[in-house]
């Protein structure tokens, strides 16, 4: 049985909604509004770091 990768959480700080496709997993992550938080597969996280409207939550 495959193991799951840990999640990294990102908060959307933009003005409208946004849909992001994970570059490794191909998963779609939807941020509906400012302040929305999504659990992102850690394999997709490096590409999320390049999006100015997203910030990682520690």
The residues spanned by each domain of the chain are: 7-57
Q: What's the confidence (pLDDT) of residue 1?
A: 63
pLDDT tens per residue, range 13-50: 999 999 999 999 999 999 999 999 999 999 999 999 99
For the cut 70, the answer to whether the pLDDT of residue 2 exceeds it is no
Beta strands in 1-58 (DSSP E): 7-12, 18-21, 28-31, 37-41, 54-57
Say how far apart CA 45 and CA 36 lie, in whole Å.
16
User: What phi, psi does 32 have (nearest 5°)?
Assistant: -75, -30
3-state secondary structure of 54: strand
Q: What's the confidence (pLDDT) of residue 4?
A: 74
Q: What's the confidence (pLDDT) of residue 5?
A: 82
Written as six digits, the tokens of 25 are: 């997993």
User: What phi, psi does 48 have (nearest 5°)?
Assistant: -70, -30
């Amino acid at each position: 049985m495959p193991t799951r990768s840990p999640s990294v959480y990102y908060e959307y700080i933009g003005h409208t909604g946004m849909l992001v496709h994970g570059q490794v997993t191909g998963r779609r992550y939807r941020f509906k509004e400012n302040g929305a938080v999504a659990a992102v597969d850690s394999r997709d996280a490096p590409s999320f770091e390049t999006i100015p409207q997203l910030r990682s939550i520690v």
